[in-house]
Amino acid sequence: MGPKNAKLFEKLTGGPKVLDILWHLPVDVVDRSAAPKLSDVKPGQVITVEVTVDKHAPNQRKSQPYRVWCRDESGEINLVFFHMGKAWLEKMLPVGEKRVISGRVEFYNGTPQIVHPDAVVKPEERDEIEKLEPVYPLTQGLTNKIVRKAVKGALGFIPTLPNWLDEAYKKRNQWPDWHEAIKAVHFEKDTDIPVKARTRLAYDELLANQLTLALVRSRMKKKSGREFKPAGMLREKLIKALPFALTGAQKRSLAEIDADMESPLKMLRLLQGDVGSGKTIVAALAMLNAVECGAQAALMAPTEILARQHYEGLTPLLEGLGIRVIALTGRDKGKEREVKLQQIANGAAQVVIGTHALFQESVEFADLGLAIIDEQHRFGVHQRLELSNKGKGTDVLVMTATPIPRTLTLTAYGDMDVSRLDEKPPGRKPIDTRLIPIEKIEPMVEGLKRQIANGDRVYWVCPLVEESEKLDLAAAEERYDILKHWIGERVGLIHGRLKPEEKDAVMQKFAKGDLDVLVATTVIEVGVNVPEATIMVIEHAERFGLSQLHQLRGRVGRGGDKSYCFLLYTGPLGETARERLSVMRETEDGFLIAERDLELRGAGDILGVKQSGLVFFRLANIEGQGELLAAAYDDARLIIDKDPELKSPRGEALRTLLYLFERDQAIRYLSSG
């Protein structure tokens, strides 16, 4: 295909590769076998008939339809076109000639018509119209016909692959072979969806996912861990220094972490806690276990800003205990970086806080005992592994604020042990959340001005425009200009295109109170902590995922003052959209929100997974196929128990499966021994 179509296919299917196209499954199938006489057609019927073109009735104005009158021996039909060139239509439907047309019939003033027929071909090309035509999800610029052609082309490339399924299981389910399955899902033999073929492909995908996680886990667990049995002096001191008491959930999670760190097995734990649930202090206390025993601890954040914030928040606490903390990010260069690397390598740095710069090969730890990874959904499975590989038997704690429902936890983390911070620190006031139609923006801003005069600070998050950073930016800049005009000079703008230093500078100004309003694209999504910010405005809230809205809302309500979240929407809202936004008004429970979002939208959207690289299933449908997932989980564990290196014939076939789903990383763990 040409570069233009390749781009569109990438947008539609995730890539122009053969498999990307083959995994783009039809959502429906149209039966085009009906070929009635025109006098017999019924409203709503899809027909494929041979007609003679009678006359063209071009439109007088652009907004009017262009009609082409056709007939057979029994009656008439109109073909109706909007915004199509006259010359082109005359070429496609020459007066006096016969054409075969296909499309859905409707009636207008008693005459049957087809608006934009799906196919118009010469009588001798009739076979080009498929009797049963699969219907694919499309994107602007790609027609079903083009997608269909690409699918047919792609099918020509598929080889016969070895079977990676358990034979008995496959037989019991009456599943077809892989290549049969992939053909079946595109060439429907009747109007029913080929359920068995689809289920089989979904299972393949889930198995690849579970097998990857099982491999990673077995690699991690195989290396035995360390036994950290600190007396707890440092912890005692730190807890005494805190201005608050730990919540029950924090204590419980810490006890679970302590038990893991004490045990000779490697810790592989997920600390799941909603925004503001107090994960950072749990992380700090866990680090003390390692440090007190003479080992190092590392904390990795997904962004510079967040790494800095952790550094600034934790350093006073830790240095108060006489612990040496350093920050390492991609921004450290030259001499300074050298010095830091040395301190990490010789153990002078006891706690290291940074970004993924910590992964780099040049970073060597003297003795990394605990690796903590914050806001993990931005990192991939292999990155987790890499950081922990920087030490011997390093314990791993992953922290996530994404409230992932149970089923999804399994797909994302396999059987990592989970601690949950399901209790918020006391004293938080609920965030007053309101839905506001965009027409009411001016009175809302008037209200904001009064609140700003009282010392409140405002985040203003700008619309997420369809996968385009450039458009996001344009929208944010426009809003920024307007708000400056309305509110005054103390308005700042932050977005993904700024250099890290520039982002920091703006962020600092907002944190210090030199700015009243911070206009942002979604870059502030992760972790930022400005307790004085009490108002969150989210524009085009209807375009965000609920979990994303929840995360954004979590940026306010961090201080003692009452906070607000204004969800600006552009109507009219559909029923689902309205329901979704109402969920935000009704609850602040991240898990509940995630569950509702899953019900209302589906797994793909809930996590914004396309951006996050977490779990993105093309073929499986987690909401409906929980049992299949459980089966894949069991299967994967059995496979790894029996054949940990994937060396048996089935193991070899499973390697192919992993390649198909681009789980090459997992295969590399196998070969790296």
Task: Compare residues 110 and 243 and give the one whose CB is closer to ligand ADP.
Answer: 243
**Chain-centre distance for alpha carbon 112:** 45
Evaluate whether 402 touches 547 at the Cβ level (below 8 Å).
Answer: yes
Stretch that binds ligand ADP, among 271-279, 291-299, 432-440, 647-655 (CB under 6 A): 271-279
Task: Compare residues 14 and 425 and give the one whose CB is closer to ligand ADP.
Answer: 425
Among 154, 275, 520, 552, binds ligand ADP (CB under 6 A): 275
Contact status: 425 vs ligand ADP (CB under 6 A): yes
Q: How many helices (H) and strands (E) does the chain have?
A: 25, 22
Site string for Mg ion, 501-530 (x = CB under 5 A): --------------------------x---
For the bound state, the minimum distance from the C-beta of residue 628 to ligand ADP, rounded and expressed in Å, comes to 33
Distance CA 72, CA 123 (A): 13
Distance CA 368, CA 298 (A): 7
For the bound state, the minimum distance from the C-beta of residue 309 to ligand ADP, rounded and expressed in Å, comes to 9
Evaluate whether 82 touches 116 at the Cβ level (below 8 Å).
Answer: yes
Contact status: 244 vs ligand ADP (CB under 6 A): yes
Contact status: 281 vs ligand ADP (CB under 6 A): yes
Among 250, 303, 376, 394, binds ligand ADP (CB under 6 A): 250
Distance CA 392, CA 364 (A): 12
The single residue listed with the structure tokens 């409140």 is 456
Residues 6+ apart with CB under 8 A from 96: 52, 53
Among 78, 102, 210, 280, binds ligand ADP (CB under 6 A): 280
Pairing of strands 563-569, 533-538: parallel
Contact status: 218 vs ligand ADP (CB under 6 A): no
Distance CA 80, CA 88 (A): 14
For the bound state, the minimum distance from the C-beta of residue 280 to Mg ion, rounded and expressed in Å, comes to 5
Contact status: 278 vs ligand ADP (CB under 6 A): yes
Tokens of residue 134, six digits: 């699969």
Site string for ligand ADP, 381-420 (x = CB under 6 A): --------------------x-------------------
Tokens of residue 194, six digits: 């080929």
Give the H/E segment covering residue 147.
Answer: helix 144-155
Task: Compare residues 77 and 399 and give the one whose CB is closer to Mg ion.
Answer: 399
Distance CA 343, CA 523 (A): 32
Evaluate whether 370 touches 297 at the Cβ level (below 8 Å).
Answer: yes
Q: Name the residue among 305, 306, 288 with its Cα closest to residue 297.
A: 288
Q: DSSP character for 242?
A: S
Task: Compare residues 51 and 306 and give the one whose CB is closer to ligand ADP.
Answer: 306
Report the b/e string of 163-186 with b at 16+ CB within 10 A.
bbbeeeebeeeebbebeebbbbbb
Tokens of residue 396, six digits: 């791993």
- Contacted by 425, from Mg ion, ligand ADP, none: CB < 5 to 8 Å by type: ligand ADP
Contact status: 278 vs Mg ion (CB under 5 A): no
For the bound state, the minimum distance from the C-beta of residue 428 to ligand ADP, rounded and expressed in Å, comes to 8
For the bound state, the minimum distance from the C-beta of residue 276 to ligand ADP, rounded and expressed in Å, comes to 5
For the bound state, the minimum distance from the C-beta of residue 250 to ligand ADP, rounded and expressed in Å, comes to 6
Residues 6+ apart with CB under 8 A from 195: none
For the bound state, the minimum distance from the C-beta of residue 374 to Mg ion, rounded and expressed in Å, comes to 6
Contact status: 528 vs ligand ADP (CB under 6 A): no
For the bound state, the minimum distance from the C-beta of residue 499 to ligand ADP, rounded and expressed in Å, comes to 25
Task: Compare residues 401 and 475 and give the one whose CB is closer to ligand ADP.
Answer: 401
Chain residue whose CB lies nearest ligand ADP: 278
Angle between the 3-13 and 144-155 helix axes, to the nearest 10 degrees?
A: 90
Site string for ligand ADP, 482-521 (x = CB under 6 A): ----------------------------------------
Site string for ligand ADP, 548-567 (x = CB under 6 A): ----------x---------
Contact status: 273 vs ligand ADP (CB under 6 A): yes
Residues 6+ apart with CB under 8 A from 356: 300, 302, 330, 379, 383
Q: Name the residue among 447, 455, 420 with its Cα closest to residue 560.
A: 455
Distance CA 649, CA 164 (A): 9
Task: Compare residues 112 and 527 and give the one whose CB is closer to Mg ion.
Answer: 527
Point out which residues bind Mg ion (CB under 5 A).
Answer: 527
Point out which residues bind ligand ADP (CB under 6 A).
Answer: 244, 246-247, 250, 273, 275-281, 401, 425, 529, 558
